[in-house]
């Protein structure tokens, strides 16, 4: 009887996916690990918004909102487009809301 042993990385994690992919997953997880950024995602579920609109709706000062949006953009959860002097943000993919719904479900709440 032969047993198979999964190879492990230097960190001791089974080598089931490349380290670069796990790093990307961790970046997305960190982006979702902030209540204010989750609120931004909820607002963007209703359509694209400017930084000032998001700041008002989420009740967050513009400089802080810009930092939150930078994290969300870097993780690929939101995308931006320029319209005149305004930058409009929207969810990058409907799966972002599915992921948020899963988090809510794991936390014991009903998904939106």
Domain of residue 87: give its range.
35-101
C-beta of residue 112 within 8 angstroms of C-beta of residue 106:
no
Query: Is 57 a member of any domain?
Result: yes
Query: Is 63 a member of any domain?
Result: yes
Query: Is 16 a member of any domain?
Result: no
The tens digit of pLDDT for each residue in 52-101 reads 999 999 999 999 999 999 999 999 999 999 999 999 999 999 999 999 99
The tens digit of pLDDT for each residue in 24-50 reads 999 999 999 999 999 999 999 999 999
Confidence of residue 16 (pLDDT cuts 50, 70, 90): confident
Q: How far is CA 13 from the centre of its chain?
A: 24
How many whole angstroms separate alpha carbon 45 and alpha carbon 39? 10
Query: Is 21 a member of any domain?
Result: no
- Give the CATH number of the domain where residue 69 resides: 1.10.10.10
Query: Is 12 a member of any domain?
Result: no
Query: Is 106 a member of any domain?
Result: no
**Helix, strand, or coil here: 9?**
coil
């Amino acid at each position: 009887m032969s047993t198979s042993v999964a190879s492990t990385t230097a960190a001791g994690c089974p080598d089931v996916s490349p380290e670069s992919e796990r790093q990307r997953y961790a970046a997305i997880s960190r982006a979702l690990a902030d209540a204010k950024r989750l609120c931004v995602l909820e607002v963007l579920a209703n359509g694209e918004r400017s930084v000032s609109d998001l700041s008002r709706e989420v009740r967050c000062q513009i400089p802080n909102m810009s930092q939150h949006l930078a994290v969300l953009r870097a993780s690929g959860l939101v995308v931006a487009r320029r319209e005149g002097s305004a930058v409009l943000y929207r969810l990058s993919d409907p799966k972002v809301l599915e992921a948020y719904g899963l988090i809510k479900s794991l936390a014991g709440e009903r998904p939106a």
